[in-house]
Amino acid sequence: MLRSLFKAAINMVKTAGQEGKDVLHKVASGRVEKPTTTATAEGEAAAARAKKPKNRKYALFLAYQGKNYFGMQVQSGMGTHQITIESKLLDAMLATGMINEQQRHKFFDWHFQRAARTDRSVSAVRQVCSFYLPLEESFVDEAPKLLNEKLPADIRVLSLRRTVPSFHAQKKCDYRTYSYTLPTFAFADVESLTNAAFRLTPERLAEVNDVLGLFVGTHNFFNYTSKKQHGDMSCNRYIVSFECGKPFTYTHDIGLKKTEYEFATIYIKGQSFMLHQIRKMIGMTLTILRGFQHKSDLTRSFESQRMDVPRAPGLGLILEKVHYQCYDRQFSKQHATLDDLGPEIESTLSGIRDELIIKEILVTEAITSSMLLWLSDLPKHDFRAIAEDEGDERKSELPMAYAKANEAEKAVKEEEEDEEAAAGDDDGNEEVKTEAEVVQEEEKIAVQA
């Protein structure tokens, strides 16, 4: 009896041990069976994880005509009516599914960064934005086409390229090249006829480049921006080149009349630029060429004394290119180059520049005469320095003459009024002049002065 019970117990232990081995064998060989629904769910989750693209760094190239926009960058507190290039770009990225609604408003979460901040009305031939996003490879190839379908016609996406994780559109940029297109009559001296008939001679072009060359090198440009002091080291900027190209003609045809204008383009290359810096550099150059200041005033503007430098119109300013030569030398074997976009895209860029940007500048200038109006205001400008800094004796001669003419005219009017009052001509009907009449009189005085 005991033997039979003992044998039964031994058999039970052996059976349990064998079952345990079978279970372990199934686990070791990966054959543990689970309910069918759980296995399916896990399989789908694994497949989804495998298909989800990784977060990678990209560089997006775009061109735009800035006439209708309040600059490149989205700014906090900006009214909804003030549309920027970035606001339109982010809307297009949201519409194509590149980003979600939260990312649309918190774009720093995915490290969105632009290479250069362009001011209001300033255009760009080759602007670059960088960001981290999980994008499908197939979408990257189609991104320019899909984004352009959602963007207005004056903003064009050129290319989307994968970069190394450390790429930063602004910090990895070696240099920036801008251009400024303007009518050549802006280079005429103040005694010459300032209209569409003016033509730039080779001798005058050499004088222009001689003045522009004074900016080349490292200087303190605190007088060429706002809210900066001379001791601020960020005002030191390096200018690689600053040169005016050969003039070209443009015929403005309004049907009844054709007018031929001559334009020229100034190119400036530097490491970086501050707010309004280039437009003020153009303004200083034109005041010297027109005789309101001297070359010595330009070199003095780099010193610690505060000067009031006029700012040229923003219409002709273009961001031509942001340079990534060092990046390409280091990473061109791993990723597509950023400094050279290839023959096809470069050809497209040239067409966009001529048709979308330059043509609009020429037409707008011919219609609005923005440069001519700006030049007409120069005699009223105190070029030398702020009055409280230097006193009236340091003001330039033409503004002083303008002020003296105003004083003389006022004295004559007061004398006439006194004579009329003495003669009994006091009917109480004081003549009130319109603002336009006052402006016309001031312009006549300025010309006489």
Secondary structure letter of residue 220 according to DSSP: E
How many other C-beta atoms can be found within 10 angstroms of the C-beta atom of residue 63?
22
Alpha carbons 121 and 281: distance in angstroms, whole number: 18
Alpha carbons 240 and 186: distance in angstroms, whole number: 24
Beta-strand pair 317-323/175-183: antiparallel
Residue listed under structure tokens 């297109």: 181
Query: Does residue 141 carry a catalytic annotation?
Result: no
Alpha carbons 247 and 263: distance in angstroms, whole number: 6
Secondary structure letter of residue 335 according to DSSP: S
Q: Is 178 annotated as a binding residue?
A: yes
How many other C-beta atoms can be found within 10 angstroms of the C-beta atom of residue 306?
16
**SS3 at position 348:** helix
Residue 24 one-letter amino acid: L
Contact by Cβ (8 Å): 319, 25? no
Structure-token pair, residue 272: 């970086």
Left (φ > 0), alpha (ψ -120 to 50) or beta: where does 100 sit? Answer: beta
Q: Which residues are CB-neighbours of 123 under 8 A, at least 6 positions away?
A: 63, 64, 65, 66, 67, 317, 318, 319, 357, 360, 361
Q: What is the dihedral of CA 65, 69, 74, 78, to 10 degrees?
A: 180
Which residue is catalytic, options 22, 91, 109, 119? 119
Mark the binding-site residues for substrate, compressed into ranges: 178
Mark the binding-site residues, compressed into ranges: 178
Q: Which residues are catalytic?
A: 119
